[in-house]
Amino acid sequence: MPDKPDSQPPASVRSLWRLRGYLRPHRRALVVMFAASIAGVGLSIAIPLVTRAIIDGPITRHELAPVLPLGLLALALGVLEAVLIFVRRWVQSNAVLGLETQLRRDLYARLQSLPMSFHTRWQSGQLLSRATTDLSAIRRFSGFGLLFLVVNVLQLVTVTIVLLTMYWPLGLVVAAVAVPIIWLSMRFEKAYVVISRRVQDQQGDLATQAEEGAVGVRVIKSFGRSDHVAQRYDQAALELRATSIDKVRLSAKFWTFLEVIPNLAVVVVLLLGAIGVGHGNLTPGELVAFITLMLSLVWPVSSLGVILAMAHEAMTAAARVLEIFDTEPDIVSGPGPAEVSGARGHLRFEHVDFAFPDAPDQPVLHDVNLDLAPGETVALVGATGTGKTALTALVPRLFDVTGGRITIDGVDVRDLQLIELRSLVATAFEEPTLFSMSARENVTLGRSDAPEEEVLAALEVAQAGFVHDLPWGLDTRIGEQGMSLSGGQRQRLALARAVLSRPAVLVLDDTLSALDVHTEKLVEQALANVLSETTGLIVAHRASTVMLADKVALLQAGTITHVGTHRQLLDTVPAYRDLLAADGVDDPASGEAPDRTVSREVLREAHASDFSDPASRGVSA
């Protein structure tokens, strides 16, 4: 995403025109709206003409009898105009809100379909600004600005023709007013488009800072940087304020001229009209009707500034929204079936290469080969920065390989439909993401139809029984990002979510890093049984986690250099011994692991004894 507004795609009428498809479902409503508005214009012209007939007819001839019916006619026309306005607004509200709802739904769906490479480039505040402020600007113009832009222009043209017909010298005065208005509007448009884009981009930047300040409030407070963050926010807010003032100043100049020009025209018309009546070229009724019709043009002319400003904001908003719609996802769903029956979970990495899209010349992984048989668990071990997390992200296609391929049961993951692939693969990340919903909804996110007993079993595996102590148990809302929970509690809920989905392939990206030693041991005991029924890929930093695996893969400098059991690598690979020794859990000199590092079989036996015997849980048989 370019940093400067001026480098963004220019806003134009074409941007709004491309969104015209969202108006099609509301064609009938649009026809009613425009018909009511056009009829209203006709009535606004008819009422002054009836007034002329009253003045030049019965009033001039001092006849009272015709005054009442003509007056009632004018009243009826006014009431009918009010009814048409009500109908237009009633139909308009439903259509416009429907348009915004559909556009918002499609934008959200598009954001969900775009890959991680897109979301790593865009600030969340910029996306939020497009989904809120920009869509509101499009709605306001579509529901109000577009209608009145057409209707007001139609009224200006129609009334001017009527005025020229009534008395052409005064009609020329009114027509001449259009010249400076058109000139001013063209100058205004060029400047306003640029400054509107700058304001909307700065609003997105400010939203990003506000979100980061709210999500990271614990870090900010713990480092005593509240004042610093507040100053950065104030600086961004002041920049937005300065740009907004420039925008208002530009609008004020334009609107002032639009107010002055029609009023000057009214003064000239009054003067010339009075002279025309004095010379007998105009009747008093025609002068009154002329002035009334001309005054009816004051609002369309003065509102032109507001409508044009609204149009430019909507064009800028449409261009910003289309930036998202025009982004082509580099990860697309494969042609495979929506469901794959009998998946065994045989996972293979075949000569896999990977580089992040924004750094194609800096490969993170190269020539990675790894075979995970169905039901087998492999621990992925490596120093920080060797590409472990990148490797795990390739399995559910959060990113795509740049070379080689990854297969599940012999099928390239790129040939599977994304919805099917991500039902086969469940991932629990080191930094768990929770949502501002209930604990139950967070756990069942990947499998909303899971029965209660399986939800409770998953929570038990993840040692997440703390949820039962929350004020409303599983139905307690845990707040945005799970901020009301500790890091270990968030990791356990995320692990329960992954376990509950019952995947063919379970990927755990150092999911136990925030747990204390006692809780970690309990989780590992329960997890061992789960891993016996699925293919597991575990990023491990602790020897205790490594012991969950059937074998270990050592990742060095972006490639897998050794694969074997924990004991084999411990005896033959110095780099592996150094990694575990750095964790303080293994004594390379003795070749023996501490007591808390036990074999996978022992963990399974402990799991069976701890969770199969009701008495071991303090439950009477």
Residues 357-369 have pLDDT tens digits of 888 889 999 999 9
Q: Give percent of the chain with pLDDT exceeding 90.
A: 19
Q: Which amino acid is at 621?
A: A
Q: What is the pLDDT of residue 405?
A: 95
The whole-number average pLDDT for the span 224-249 is 88
Secondary structure, 3-state, 453-478:
HHHHHHHHHCCCHHHHHCCCHHHCEC
Q: Distance between CA atoms of 120 and 1, rounded to whole angstroms?
A: 10
Q: What is the CB-side half-sphere exposure of residue 170 using CA atoms within 13 A?
A: 29
Using the predicted structure, report yes or no on whether residue 563 has a pLDDT greater than 60.
yes
The 10s digit of each residue's pLDDT in 282-296 is 888 888 888 888 888
Q: Give percent of the chain with pLDDT exceeding 70.
A: 89
Q: Give 414 or 501, the one with higher predicted confidence.
A: 414
Q: What is the pLDDT of residue 618?
A: 31
Backbone angles phi, psi at 112, to 5 degrees: -70, -30
**Stated pTM of the model:** 0.67
Instruction: Return the minimum-mean-pLDDT range out of 27-36, 158-167, 585-594.
Output: 585-594
Task: Mention every residue, 6+ apart, whose C-beta is less than 8 A from residue 56.
Answer: 283, 284, 285, 286
The whole-number average pLDDT for the span 551-578 is 92
Task: Write out the E strands in 376-533.
Answer: 377-382, 403-408, 411-412, 425-428, 505-509
Q: What is the pLDDT of residue 338?
A: 55
Q: What is the pLDDT of residue 595?
A: 38
Instruction: Pick 347-614's CATH classification: 3.50.50.60, 3.40.120.10, 3.40.50.300, 1.10.3720.10.
Output: 3.40.50.300
Q: Give residue 583's pLDDT band: very low, low, confident or very high (50, 70, 90).
A: low
Measured CA to CA in angstroms, residue 370 lies from 229, 552, 554 at distances of: 45, 10, 11
Q: Distance between CA atoms of 326 and 248, rounded to whole angstroms?
A: 31
Asked if 533 and 360 touch (Cβ cutoff 8 Å), the reply is no
Q: What is the pLDDT of residue 186?
A: 72
Q: What is the pLDDT of residue 585?
A: 44
Q: What is the pLDDT of residue 175?
A: 80
10-203+236-325, what's its fold? ABC transporter transmembrane region fold (1.20.1560)
The whole-number average pLDDT for the span 307-313 is 81
Asked if 352 and 401 touch (Cβ cutoff 8 Å), the reply is yes
The whole-number average pLDDT for the span 521-541 is 83
The 10s digit of each residue's pLDDT in 435-486 is 888 889 989 988 888 899 999 999 988 888 899 988 899 998 887 667 678 8
Measured CA to CA in angstroms, residue 123 lies from 3, 118, 206, 260, 386 at distances of: 11, 10, 11, 44, 26
Instruction: Return the minimum-mean-pLDDT range out of 131-145, 346-360, 433-447, 570-584.
Output: 570-584
Q: What is the pLDDT of residue 606?
A: 36
Backbone angles phi, psi at 575, to 5 degrees: -65, -35
The 10s digit of each residue's pLDDT in 377-433 is 999 999 888 899 899 999 999 899 999 999 999 999 999 998 889 889 988 877 778
Q: Give 10 or 527, the one with higher predicted confidence.
A: 527
Q: What is the pLDDT of residue 559?
A: 94
The whole-number average pLDDT for the span 54-61 is 84
Q: Which amino acid is at 223?
A: F
Using the predicted structure, report yes or no on whether residue 354 has a pLDDT greater than 90.
yes
The whole-number average pLDDT for the span 593-609 is 38
Q: Distance between CA atoms of 250 and 86, rounded to whole angstroms?
A: 34
The whole-number average pLDDT for the span 504-529 is 78
The average confidence (pLDDT) of the chain is 81
In the chain, where are the structural domains located?
10-203+236-325, 347-614
Helix (H) / strand (E) containing 551 = strand 551-556
Q: What is the pLDDT of residue 582?
A: 64
The whole-number average pLDDT for the span 592-596 is 39
Q: What is the pLDDT of residue 602?
A: 37
Q: Give residue 371's pLDDT band: very low, low, confident or very high (50, 70, 90).
A: very high
The 10s digit of each residue's pLDDT in 62-114 is 888 888 888 898 899 989 988 988 888 888 888 888 888 899 999 998 988 88
Q: What is the pLDDT of residue 296?
A: 82
Q: What is the pLDDT of residue 184?
A: 78
Q: What is the pLDDT of residue 355?
A: 93
Q: What is the pLDDT of residue 372?
A: 94
